[in-house]
């Protein structure tokens, strides 16, 4: 893609600069040969003047700036990298050989399907009956300004002929072919117009265009068909006139008959009405019984089922209560037995603990007899303030001279 752009740029330089310069140089060379003697001293001025003329001509043919006009969008495309930018106002810099410009209108455009506007035209529309008809169809569209820079490289020169016309024909021709002439002409014209707009809008959106509206104007019918329709309308009007005349005659005859046989008809109608009422009442009662009897039967069955269910529920409730009482009795017996076992275990454990403690205390007293004296002193400490006693013999209680010298029973004499 870059090679193609480079080739295009080089071709543009050759056509716009090199070839005109070569022609100008050739003309200058021919003039120089004829005026070589006189122009020799003025060669510098001549070259400068030639270059100035050449630059002026190039700027005139390819101006470096372009102004954006009102109600249009200018798209500048870089031929080197393919990037495009859209401008809606101001002046845009344009480099010859590098930038390409395209102008697009921002206002709404109208497309008319002129080929199908007449039934005898070059491309008339077809109805579901196979009849050629003409429809004055107008499509109002505009270029999507948000996508114009991206889609400008794909836009042809004539948007109506190359984009809008194929899209409209691809939608309108199949759509009208599914409807009759009467529907297109009058009965469903608005619905057909909305359907055309609904199908055409996404197609134009894919092409970078926005659909503004679709209008169906005059529907042109062939002359023969229109003449036959006029005849049919006249016949329908004549038929309607005859029908109304017959209805008037029949009304007059019925009025005469009703006036002559009013009482007879009234009695017959009264009798028929009474009989019909009785018949209707009997049928209604019969229909009611047909619905009531199954309902009563269902009620009886439902009550039986409810009684059985209540009986089963009571039995299951009694069984559950008995089972609960048995479970409670077993639980209470187990609880009492476990309490008794726990109490026996506690008594046994307390007895063992007391025996072990007495055994430890006996062994301790046997090993340390002074503990008895200390204990006695601790007991008497709050009642006796000062005790004066002689020093006891070794191994004897300090108060043995006061309370007695009898040795403790069970106490082993110290060596």
Q: Do residues 116 and 178 both lie within one domain?
A: yes
Quickly list DSSP for 13-54. HIIIIIHHHHHHHHHHHHHHHHTHHHHSTTHHHHHHHHHHHH
User: Is the residue at 193 inside a domain?
Assistant: yes
Residue 68 shares a structural domain with residue 117: no
What's the Cα-to-Cα distance from 397 to each of 45, 146, 382, 406, rounded to whole Å?
154, 121, 19, 10
Q: For residues 94 and 21, state if they share a domain.
A: no
Q: Does any domain span residue 131?
A: yes
Q: Is residue 378 part of a domain?
A: no
Residue after which a domain boundary falls, among 316, 337, 358: 337
Domain housing 293 = 275-337
CB neighbours of residue 209 within 10 Å: 25
Would 401 be classed as within a structural domain? no
- Note the pLDDT of residue 411: 42
Same domain? For 114 and 207 the reply is: yes
Q: Is there a domain that residue 375 lies in?
A: no
Low-confidence ranges of the chain (pLDDT < 50): 1-2, 386, 388, 406, 408-415
Whether residue 233 sits in one domain with residue 193: no
Q: Under a CB-based contact definition with an 8 Å cutoff, are residues 368 and 397 in contact?
A: no
Residue 354 included in any domain: no
Residues 136, 215, single domain; the answer is yes
> Do 250 and 178 share a domain, yes or no?
no
- Whether 29 is in a domain gets the answer yes
Q: What is the pLDDT of residue 357?
A: 83
In the chain, the number of structural domains is: 5
Residue 1's pLDDT is 41
Give the number of other Cβ atoms within 10 Å of residue 53's Cβ. 11
Q: Residue 163 in contact with residue 151, Cβ under 8 Å?
A: no
Q: Which of 321, 337, 353 is the last residue of a domain?
A: 337
On whether residue 356 sits in a domain, the answer given is: no
Question: Is residue 162 located within the same domain as residue 206?
Answer: yes
The pLDDT, as a whole number, for residue 395 is 64
Alpha-carbon span 287 to 293, nearest angstrom: 10
pTM above 0.75, yes or no: no
Query: 177 and 245: one domain?
Result: no
Query: Could you tell me if 42 and 10 lie in one domain?
Result: yes
156 and 118 within one domain: yes
């Amino acid at each position: 893609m870059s090679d193609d752009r480079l080739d295009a740029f080089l071709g543009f330089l050759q056509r716009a600069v090199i070839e005109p310069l070569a022609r100008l140089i050739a003309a200058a060379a021919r003039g120089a040969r004829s005026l070589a003697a006189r122009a020799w001293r003025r060669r510098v001025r001549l070259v400068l003047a030639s270059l100035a003329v050449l630059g002026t001509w190039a700027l005139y043919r390819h101006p470096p700036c372009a102004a954006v006009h009102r109600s249009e969008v200018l798209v500048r495309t870089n031929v080197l990298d393919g990037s495009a930018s859209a401008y809606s106002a101001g002046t845009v810099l344009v480099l010859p050989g590098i930038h390409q410009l395209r102008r697009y209108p921002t206002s709404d455009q109208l497309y008319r399907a002129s080929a199908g506007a007449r039934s005898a035209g070059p491309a008339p529309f077809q109805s579901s009956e196979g009849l050629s008809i003409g429809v004055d169809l107008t499509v109002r569209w505009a270029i999507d300004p948000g996508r114009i820079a991206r889609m400008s490289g794909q836009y042809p020169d004539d948007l109506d002929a190359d984009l809008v016309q194929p899209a409209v024909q691809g939608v309108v021709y199949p759509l009208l072919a599914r409807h009759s002439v009467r529907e297109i002409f009058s009965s469903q014209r608005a619905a057909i117009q909305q359907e055309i707009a609904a199908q055409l809008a996404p197609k134009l959106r894919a092409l970078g265009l926005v659909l503004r509206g679709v209008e169906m104007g005059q529907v042109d019918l062939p002359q023969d068909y229109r003449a036959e329709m006029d005849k049919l309308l006249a016949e329908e009007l004549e038929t309607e006139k005859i029908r109304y005349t017959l209805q008037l005659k029949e009304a007059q005859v019925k009025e005469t008959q009703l006036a002559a046989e009013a009482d007879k008809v009234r009695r017959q109608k009264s009798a028929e009405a009474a009989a019909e009422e009785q018949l209707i009442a009997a049928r209604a009662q019969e229909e009611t019984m047909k619905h009531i009897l199954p309902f009563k039967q269902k009620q009886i069955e439902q009550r039986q089922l409810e009684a059985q269910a209540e009986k089963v529920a009571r039995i299951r409730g009694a069984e559950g209560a008995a089972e609960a009482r048995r479970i409670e009795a077993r639980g209470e017996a187990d609880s009492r037995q476990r309490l008794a076992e726990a109490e026996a275990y506690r008594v046994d454990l307390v007895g063992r603990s007391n025996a072990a403690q007495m055994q430890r205390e006996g062994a301790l007293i046997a090993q340390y007899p002074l503990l008895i004296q200390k204990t006695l002193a601790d007991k008497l400490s709050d009642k006796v303030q000062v005790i004066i006693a002689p020093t006891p013999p070794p191994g004897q209680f300090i108060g043995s001279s006061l309370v007695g010298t009898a040795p403790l029973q069970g106490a082993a004499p110290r060596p």
